[in-house]
A and B are shown apart, each in its own frame.
Chain A
Amino acid sequence: MEIRPILSTLRRHKITAWLLIMQIALTCAIVCNAIFLIGLRLHHMHMQSGVAEHEVLQVQVADVANTDNRYVRAAEDLAILRQIPGVQAVGQTNQVPFAGSSSNVNIRLDANQHEPTLRAGSYFGDNITQALGSRLVEGRDFTASEYIDADTAIKALSSGDTRSLPAIAIITRPLADRLWPGQDPLGKTIYLTQSFGARVIGVVQGLARANPYKDETAQYSMVLPLHMGVGKDQSYVIRTHPQQRAEVLKAAVAALKRADPERVVIRQRTLDDIRRDFFQDDIAMAGILVSVCVALLVVNALGIIGLVSFWVAQRRRSIGVRRALGATRAHILHYFQTENFLLATMGIGLGMMLAYGINIYLMLHYELPRLPTMYLPVGAALLWLISQASVLWPALRAADVPPIVATRSA
């Protein structure tokens, strides 16, 4: 098909043509970035927890007043929970993956290092890796005799006399790879304060932080062998068979309430619930982005249908003349399709530049990564498809114009 006559016609309809191009360009730019953002959210939402996700339950209880024997009470509670039928492992932890409220420590590779190397999630409690089902891939787990009470540790740390502390830790594979790439982490030391370094005795496959906002650092966690005692901020974690979760959770809460009827149950939920709560905003945002994309494409399609219908009405006479001069219906149809393709292509070209512009702005203000080039052809194909589909109906109407129109006035 000859495009020169199309271009010369378009030149006479500059404003309308430009409006269509602008509309397609803006849509292209927004849709490319939106699809990219949807991809990021979906990727973020599928973040690994590194634990046995469908098997873990969390129960958080608080005593009405402080007890003097916090550690004894916690040990008793753990014993009670262990008795419940269907329970595979129980533990106590200061935080749970994806639960939001987090505990973090600065990690140094050298005690006298000025700036810390990184900040890692710090898990303290009883039997954490077992209860969460975090798989040990190297070294060993803590033994019962290695645990000490949190109060003792705090006292030792603030006095600077850390000799009695169990200077051992379990870290995650990603943290080990980040701290000592390509080396065996077992036996290496991480410094949590200037006077306290912990030797790595075990490595778990993964254990996400409680507040993993960034995908890259989500698995930077470590575990220390501390008894935390009962407390509002501590959670009991129970691992059970996925099918038994509901009944085990109910039984666990009932058993804890029976042990002390005055205490308050703050939370009781599965790790699946915790994950859903944590990513709810991402789910909502992805939904919003999808609906905006769909709405944009619909508005575009309607705009194209409206404008091309107008053009067809305006050019009825010249279409009739062309038909009278021997143009087939297919010729007329192709004419409008080609015209639209040219406009869409110009719009898409402009839109891609705009897409990069928006992406640079987002990179500066929202710390987003660079838009991968693969999103551009996806956006372009989508817009070509939409514009060709929307031009079809008015173009068919144009093709229906009988040659006789040429003989009528206006």
Chain B
Amino acid sequence: MFRYYLDLGLRSLTHNKVLTMLMVLAIAVGIGASMTTLTVLHVLSGDPLPGRSGSLYYPQIDPRDPTGTLSGKEPPTQVTLIDGLNLLRAKRANRQALMRGGAVAVMPSSTGLDPFIVEARYTTADFFPMFDTPFLFGGGWNSVDDEAKARVVVIARKLNDRLFAGANSVGRVLRIGKKDFRIVGVLNDWSPNPHFYDLNTGDYNYAEQAFVPLLTAFDSGFSIDGSNDCWGNGTGGVGTTLPSETCVWLQFWIELDSPQKVADYRNFLVNYSEQQRALGRFERAPNVRLRNVMQWLDYNQVVPDDVRLQTGLAFGFLMVCLVNTVGLLLAKFLRRAGELSVRRALGASRRTVFMQLIVEAGLVGLLGGLLGLGLALFGLWLVRHRPSSYAALAHLDVSMLATTLALAVGASVIAGLLPAWRACQVAPALQLKSQ
């Protein structure tokens, strides 16, 4: 029966080409616009580390003095160096890493090549196992290297390709800022989006190319990137001078594998705050937060407002296109009152006529969806050629492709419900008589 309806539908679509084209076009444009924006939103609000993000937490404590800052009651979004090292060395979580972004000058070993600057991350040993970074060669360093300020480095594949033409460079020497570092590992392509572990250096499409132990980096006078928030007499530091003790400027991440451990860690943070207060370092009542990755991204409102606004706009546009389609379908179906009443008089039930019209509406949706898919691909191509940091990420994946077609067919079937119902109300005899 379905095939018969399909055949009827196709035939009727070719009957009134202009009207059909208008409907298909309206749906296509609406679907194209909303899928383009929805894909961008989907990519940007995705989970940067699927499967792991639920057990990664970002502890926040409040070391500020009582003279308020404009930011209100939330504790700062970073930690001081003292607190960071204290929490790191306390080892109360399964894993923990203290970090900061920066940039280093890399000197190519072959002469004649200019030195160049790459983005770097100064971090501690657990960074690699905690974030499950994929290694192409070698591995990370250990906590002994951290405390010994060892001159070791992990580089990204991109840098390895540039300097060593992709060969296994583990054990070789990399000259960073006129000092020699031993390469211990090469990371395979890895750039979590959003760049959740440090939102100060760039939200999207940001990938460090060199990873150096935190204390080694400070010891070597490497420059730091990101934000410093200071209070009291604190200053952000200049050149090789690090930010002062009354500045928060480092990110601290931990891994906790059970709800019990999360509760325990929260208590630990409260106790730590009280202990520091007793020592006279903290002046405020304990004010702690412990958010996991997705909660952290949500709290920081990482997805740009413009992207949300565009999505809303596109769906408003789709609504108008659908209302338009409802009107046009109504016109199309009612115009066929004569033909439908003949079918009814020949014994077709209301239900079968209704089904036939719905199949026809779905067919319009399918055509509109396919055309809309093309428009969405074009739209995403346009987005990718925009200069925004997230632009390059805008690609349609299989799930979004399926969503596009489902949305188009679903929307047009819904749009077809009312016109089909109205068309079914045609009384068979009456129409025949007037013929």
- The verdict on A23 contacting B335 (CB below 8 Å), with A154-B241, A281-B388, A289-B313 known, is no
Contact A150 B238 (CB under 8 A): yes
Contact A232 B327 (CB under 8 A): no
Contacts of B280 in A (CB 8 A): none
Is A202's CB within 8 Å of the partner chain B?
A: no
Contact A23 B323 (CB under 8 A): yes
Contact B238 A229 (CB under 8 A): yes
Contact B317 A30 (CB under 8 A): yes
A277 to B388, CA, bound (A): 9
A107 to B237, CA, bound (A): 19
Is B361's CB within 8 Å of the partner chain A?
A: no
Contacts of B420 in A (CB 8 A): none
Contact B313 A303 (CB under 8 A): no
Contacts of B22 in A (CB 8 A): 302-303, 306
Chain A contacts with B in 62-76, Cβ cutoff 8 A:
62-66, 70
Is B397's CB within 8 Å of the partner chain A?
A: no
A22, A158, A228: most-surrounded residue (chain B CB, <10 A): A158
Option from A66, A157, A262 in Cβ contact (under 8 Å) with B235:
A157
Is B387's CB within 8 Å of the partner chain A?
A: yes
Nearest A residue to B388, CB-CB: A281
A284 to B331, CA, bound (A): 38
Contacts of A15 in B (CB 8 A): 330, 418, 422
Q: Digitize B420-435: 1 where CB-to-A-CB distance is under 8 Å, 0 elsewhere.
A: 0010000000000011
Interface size on A, residues (CB 8 A): 69
Binds B, one of A44-52, A292-300, A333-341: A292-300
Contact B179 A65 (CB under 8 A): yes
Contact B327 A233 (CB under 8 A): no
Contact B327 A194 (CB under 8 A): no
Contact A34 B239 (CB under 8 A): no
Option from A263, A280, A292 in Cβ contact (under 8 Å) with B317:
A292
Contact B105 A231 (CB under 8 A): no
Option from A64, A157, A194 in Cβ contact (under 8 Å) with B178:
A64
- The verdict on A23 contacting B117 (CB below 8 Å), with A66-B221, A295-B33, A296-B317 known, is no
Binds B, one of A85-93, A307-315, A399-407: A307-315
Binds A, one of B66-74, B132-140, B403-411: B66-74
Q: Digitize B25-67: 1 where CB-to-A-CB distance is under 8 Å, 0 elsewhere.
A: 1100110010000000000000000000000000000000001
Chain B contacts with A in 111-149, Cβ cutoff 8 A:
114-117
Contact A366 B305 (CB under 8 A): yes
Is B399's CB within 8 Å of the partner chain A?
A: no
Nearest B residue to A226, CB-CB: B238
What is the minimal beta-carbon distance from B368 to any residue of chain A, in angstroms? Answer: 12
Nearest B residue to A62, CB-CB: B117
Q: Digitize B305-333: 1 where CB-to-A-CB distance is under 8 Å, 0 elsewhere.
A: 11011100110110111011011101110
Contact B239 A229 (CB under 8 A): yes
Nearest A residue to B324, CB-CB: A303
- The verdict on A64 contacting B239 (CB below 8 Å), with A23-B327, A160-B233, A303-B324 known, is no
Q: Digitize A279-290: 1 where CB-to-B-CB distance is under 8 Å, 0 elsewhere.
A: 011001100110
A194 to B234, CA, bound (A): 11
A96 to B9, CA, bound (A): 63
Option from A158, A196, A284, A306 in Cβ contact (under 8 Å) with B386:
A284
Is A19's CB within 8 Å of the partner chain B?
A: yes
Is A244's CB within 8 Å of the partner chain B?
A: no
Q: Digitize B129-173: 1 where CB-to-A-CB distance is under 8 Å, 0 elsewhere.
A: 000000000000000000000000000000000000000000000
Contact B327 A307 (CB under 8 A): yes
A33 to B114, CA, bound (A): 52
Q: Digitize A209-234: 1 where CB-to-B-CB distance is under 8 Å, 0 elsewhere.
A: 00000000000000000001101110
Nearest B residue to A117, CB-CB: B70
Contact A264 B117 (CB under 8 A): yes
Is A350's CB within 8 Å of the partner chain B?
A: no
Contact B26 A299 (CB under 8 A): yes
Q: Digitize A228-255: 1 where CB-to-B-CB distance is under 8 Å, 0 elsewhere.
A: 1101110000000000000000000000
A228 to B238, CA, bound (A): 8
A263 to B177, CA, bound (A): 10
Is B205's CB within 8 Å of the partner chain A?
A: no
A150 to B324, CA, bound (A): 65
What is the minimal beta-carbon distance from A306 to any residue of chain B, in angstroms? Answer: 5
Is A330's CB within 8 Å of the partner chain B?
A: no
Is A115's CB within 8 Å of the partner chain B?
A: yes
Is A26's CB within 8 Å of the partner chain B?
A: yes
Option from A27, A229, A232 in Cβ contact (under 8 Å) with B223:
A232
Contacts of A151 in B (CB 8 A): 238-239, 241
Q: Digitize B10-33: 1 where CB-to-A-CB distance is under 8 Å, 0 elsewhere.
A: 000000001100100110011001
Residues of A whose CB lies within 8 Å of any CB of B are: 15-16, 19-20, 22-23, 26-27, 29-30, 34, 37, 62-66, 70, 103, 106, 114-116, 119, 150-151, 153-154, 157-160, 193-196, 228-229, 231-233, 262-264, 266, 277, 280-281, 284-285, 288-289, 292, 295-296, 299-300, 302-303, 306-307, 309-310, 313-314, 362, 366, 409-410
Closest 6 CB pairs of A and B: A310-B331, A303-B324, A65-B178, A19-B327, A64-B105, A65-B177
Interface pairs (5), CB distance under 8 Å = A115-B68, A154-B235, A303-B324, A306-B22, A409-B434
